Amino acid sequence: MAESEKKWYVLRSVSGKENKVKEYLESEIKKTDLGKYVSQVLIPTEKTYTVRNGKKVMKERAYLPGYV
């Protein structure tokens, strides 16, 4: 399948379990040899910075919770 023939799909998941869903999808893609049909699985995230105890802390949080 050519790269231009691939399409985007959005999956709903339980909020907070996006990483587990991503890991599961990637393992199933490897097991069933579907890598030629799926180029990547991603979770939309954003980096946020907060100050805790006088230090700047970077935290990555889901931009769209519940979606993969």
46 assigned to some structural domain: yes
**Count of the separate structural domains present in the chain:** 1
pLDDT for 3: 58
Alpha helices in the chain (DSSP H): 18-31
10 assigned to some structural domain: yes
The pLDDT of residue 1 is above 60:
no
67 assigned to some structural domain: no
Quote the pTM value: 0.75
Which structural domain, as residue segments, surrounds residue 43?
3-62
Return the residue matching tokens 């691939």.
6
Angle, CA 45 vertex, CA 28 and CA 54 arms, to 5°:
130
- For 6-17, write each residue's pLDDT tens digit: 889 999 999 989
Task: Give the mean pLDDT of 14-38.
Answer: 92
11 assigned to some structural domain: yes
68 assigned to some structural domain: no
Return the residue matching tokens 């979606």.
67
What are the C-alpha distances in Å from 12 to residues 22, 53, 62, 67? 11, 36, 13, 5
What is the percentage of the chain residues whose pLDDT exceeds 70? 94
8 assigned to some structural domain: yes
DSSP label at residue 23 = H
